[in-house]
Chain A
Amino acid sequence: MELNEYLEVFIEESKEHIQSLNDHLLLLEKNPSNMDTVSEIFRSAHTLKGMSATMGYQDLANLTHKMENVLDEVRNKNLVIDPNILDVVLDAVDQLEAMVIDIANGGDGTRDVQSIVNKLNSIEKREVIVQDDSTKKVESNNGGSTATIINGLDEFEITLLQESEEKNHSNLQIDIKLREDCLLKAARVYMVFDVLEKIGEVIKSYPQVTDLEEENFELDFSVLVVTTEQSDQIKQKVMKVSEIDNVTIIPFTVDDILQQQPINSEVEQTVIEVASTVEESNKVSQSNSKAVISNKTIRVNIDRLDALMNLFEELVIDRGRLEQISANLKNAELVETVERMTRISGDLQSIILNMRMVPIDQVFNRFPRMVRQLARDLGKQIHLEVDGADTELDRTVIDEIGDPLVHLIRNAIDHGIELPSDRVEKGKPAEGLLKLNAYHSGNHVFIEISDNGAGIDREKVIRKAISNQVITHEQAKSLTDSQVYQLVLESGFSTAETISDVSGRGVGLDVVKNTIESLGGNISIESELGKGSVFAIQLPLTLSIISVLLVEVGKEKYAIPLSSIIETAIVSKSETFNAHNKTVIDFRGKVVPLVSLKEVFNVSSSLEEDELHSIVIIRKGEKMSGLIVDRFIGQQEVVLKSLGDYLSNVFAISGATILGDGQVALIIDPNSLIK
């Protein structure tokens, strides 16, 4: 069976549906009467159920089914959503997610969901006991004589069959017996399925597909098929598969099933209702079809995009060479062609880079759930506002930024926003506001996490920093507010009075700072006591292509990332001073220490020391430093490459790049050159 090929798609889509369930359930909590939201949730649950049933994940399908029942009650206005019900439903969604993750990790997606199923049942029962009883009857009646397969049908499958009847398709039960000497049973089963799928739709099989695949059956198996073809023809077609002993085809209708089983009319009614809602949701999806078309996507493995990127990088390098050659030869036709190629490859570059960009929503979308949970756990009231979720970032940055953001949000909820009673006392609304904001600016993306909570208490931070020996008393006096706030990010720092599960193990925010800095970004804090704080993260758009200033030191070329350069300057030797054995210059009223790259990198050079120094002023936060180089070459966009595993952790070198002439230039890590 080719099911495994679909597994990946199944997992991806399940995740999407689970996410959509989460999103809409939270919306529903805010606006319990919005039936559109309920329909949306219902549709996601329904699709999820269908997919998991097809793939043979029974627990997954069962749980979704129970959830669907509850949602159905909500939609039929028999049940009003309250936080308790929502908790149970969200819990169920968590269980679903755990199962999908299990499947993704190669598990079989089974999980003990009895307690949650019971909870869902009791919610459902509270309002409609009759309906629940009847479903139980359906389930309990497994002793039917004709075939076990029909009795095992759930409401979803019955609905499908019913729909097909309405379309004048016939429902057939096909019992197939393989010959006793059949060697490759799974292969024959596959061929039978192949034939059946060509003529109609396979609704269910007994035993399940996975069992058939693993040859966990004797010689017979049964399949439910919806088709327009005649049973004789189907029989002939199936018999063409070799090693088949016998094929029996029994047509049936949904009424037959319902009659076979003592079911009161209410079930039928609910079944029909389900069917009609499916149609309804289909209508909704049709009305939304415009939006769907604009979102047409295919899934591409990130490795392939990386490979594409690598190939393109080589193309860029060769293009550089071609440009040089054409400039030397001065052949008009060649020059023209090369120029054209340059233009096209420029377009290509922006497209490839764009392909790697994903909206930050991928990270943001899990926060509403998290905030809700944390707020409930901590007894706080929090309103989360998300802005700019469509802001795009390079895939590699997205992968890394999730954990730091989680940390900062937890921090804001735990330490920032106060308990409702405290807030009212301070004259603030009981509900705290947590804002997530992402936006582009230049070559950077900014993410801001702001709250209107307690703000950072300068004195408390200083006391803590001194007692934790992060700073001394003397230092404390001269610190500016923003320097004090930065102390929060130092390791071994936690201002929470009591240590909670949420945050406050003292290992928190320095990890955040390190992660962000390793991504080439930085984090700043603004705060006003009593009014709230803003944590602002600045990140580069992409990690793979950066703007650098190329400089020459001796005969070697180095690249300095533009993002950390303030400006370049040329100063004569007479303008430098010595302080504490360090050379410094007076740069716009500030004393800036100078670092000679020649000395740091042990560059051998026969060049005479110039009377004038070429200096690149770099900065790290508030601190500045001047790098002495021999010559500026110019600004360039370069492709960042690592030095490989073999040469990791070279001092003051963050990577390498390949220049137009094919040579490697090293990229300087300015942060390590500023003490």
Chain B
Amino acid sequence: MSEVNKQDIKAIVFELNNEEYAIPVQQVGSIERMQHITRVPQTEDFIIGVINLRGVVTPIIDLRKRFSIEKTEFTNSTRIIIVYINNMEVGFVVDAAYDVIDIPENAIEPAPEVIGTVDVDYIEGVAKIDSRLLMLLNIEKVLSSQEVDHLQSVEG
């Protein structure tokens, strides 16, 4: 039993465009309700702006824009997931975040080659649990180091 637990991955499940994604719980700092976001001009378009996260100015990224999914209005269930990337705190705007789930290692399969329009390199794998299909996100690749470096040197 304990051996099984060791191989489980605890993950936060969130929804984006009616699909379910998962982020390992260790990488998640907190989940916040939608709040006022201050736009930062002259940055990449998927960076919405910054919020005041308990005194820390935190950049916010629109995952829909990052994944090139059509834009929708923010709703009551829209959430900001605060994650840590290379010692930086960044927030992801998602449609909804509602679940913590244990994913057994053996339920994870490598990402299928064809997964629509989404570039597969930041999908680490797909887990099938009961009738649900969860896509495991690799946070670092969502903002691959190249991308991060690029952002750091954005200048007008």
Contact = CB atoms under 8 A, between A and B. Distances in A.
A644 B47 CA distance: 14
B151 interface: yes
Contacts of A336: none
Interface in B35-73: 36, 38-43, 47, 49-52, 54-59
Contacts of B2: none
A636 interface: no
A650 B88 CA distance: 16
Interface in A297-341: 310, 313-314, 317
Contacts of A601: 41-42
Contact of A650 (B43, B51, B52, B85): B43
A317 B55 contact: yes
Contact of B38 (A310, A317, A656): A656
A248 interface: no
B87 A647 contact: no
Interface residues of A, number: 29
A647 B42 contact: no
How many B residues touch the partner, as a band?
Answer: 20 to 34
A651 B57 contact: no
Nearest to A661: B36
Contacts of A643: 40, 50, 57, 59
Contacts of A656: 38, 50, 57
Interface stretch (A281-289, A483-491, A525-533, A663-671): A663-671
B125 to A, nearest CB: 26
Interface of chain A, helix or strand or loop or mixed? mixed
Given A643-B57, A644-B57, A646-B88, A602 B42 contact: yes
B8 interface: no
A317 B55 CA distance: 8
Given A644-B89, A651-B156, A314 B55 contact: yes
A142 B57 CA distance: 67
B88 A662 contact: no
B152 A644 contact: no
Given A647-B40, A653-B40, A658 B55 contact: yes
B49 to A, nearest CB: 8
Contacts of A317: 52, 55
A664 B42 contact: no
Contact of B36 (A313, A602, A603, A663): A663
A114 B21 CA distance: 68
B38 A652 contact: no
Contacts of A649: 152-155
Interface in A149-184: none
B31 interface: no
A556 interface: yes
Interface of A: 310, 313-314, 317, 556, 600-603, 641-653, 656, 658, 662-666
Interface of B: 36, 38-43, 47, 49-52, 54-59, 85, 87-90, 148, 151-156
Given A556-B39, A603-B41, A656-B38, 8 more contacts: A643-B50, A643-B59, A646-B88, A649-B152, A649-B154, A658-B52, A663-B38, A665-B38
25 contacts: A310-B55, A317-B55, A556-B39, A600-B41, A601-B42, A602-B41, A603-B41, A641-B56, A642-B57, A643-B40, A643-B50, A644-B89, A645-B152, A647-B47, A647-B59, A648-B152, A650-B40, A650-B43, A652-B41, A653-B40, A663-B36, A663-B38, A664-B50, A664-B52, A666-B50
